[in-house]
Amino acid sequence: MIPRYATISLSAAQGLALSTLALALAACGSAPPVNPALQQARQRFDSASGQAQVASLAALELGRAREALDKAVRANQDGANLDTVDHLAYMATQHVVVAEETARSRAAQAVTARAAADRDSLRLAQRTQQADQAESRLSLNPAVSPPPPARAAAWEARSPARSGR
């Protein structure tokens, strides 16, 4: 006769076998371990893509960053070694930095261009005011001699247009 403590019930043995099998399957099918560099690259990309300025002014560069991040994620999922995944994550982060800096540069260039246009507009207004003042002084002082002959035609062409104001 078999001692009672030596026997394992069939249901307990089945439960043990099923839990062992489930644990083994879970270990095989689990996601790859979290890579800090990859996680940081993903966060940096998400932050940059959420900025309207980066998305609009550096869309091409942001697309390259997305491609680099996808490549790093695929390498991690495929079980590439840690150095390879870290390197690809670093490259993705650098692409994000390039996108952010490109957006900043293009925004600064736009500000500079607007400032140059404003400056040109102010210069034109100032020159127009100076010309109007000079013309006004000439019309008030008849003793002033007429303009030199080379500019006389241009002066006469301007005079009718100005007198209509």
Give 15-30 pLDDT, tens digit per residue.
545 566 555 555 555 5
Render pLDDT for 107-159 as a digit per residue (tens, 0 to 9).
999 899 999 999 999 999 999 998 888 888 888 776 655 556 556 666 666 66
pLDDT given at position 165: 47
Q: What is the DSSP string of 3-65?
A: -GGG---HHHHHHHHHHHHHHHHHHHHSPPPPPHHHHHHHHHHHHHHT-HHHHHHSHHHHHHH
Contact (CB, 8 A) for 98 and 65:
yes
What pLDDT, on the 0 to 100 scale, is given for residue 103?
95
Residue type (1 letter), 118: D
Residues 85, 75 contacting (CB under 8 angstroms): yes
Q: Give the global pTM.
A: 0.58
Structure tokens at 105: 């540069």
Do residues 35 and 89 touch, judged by C-beta distance below 8 A?
yes
Query: What does the domain layout of the chain look like in residue ranges?
Result: 33-103
- pLDDT averaged over every residue in the chain: 80
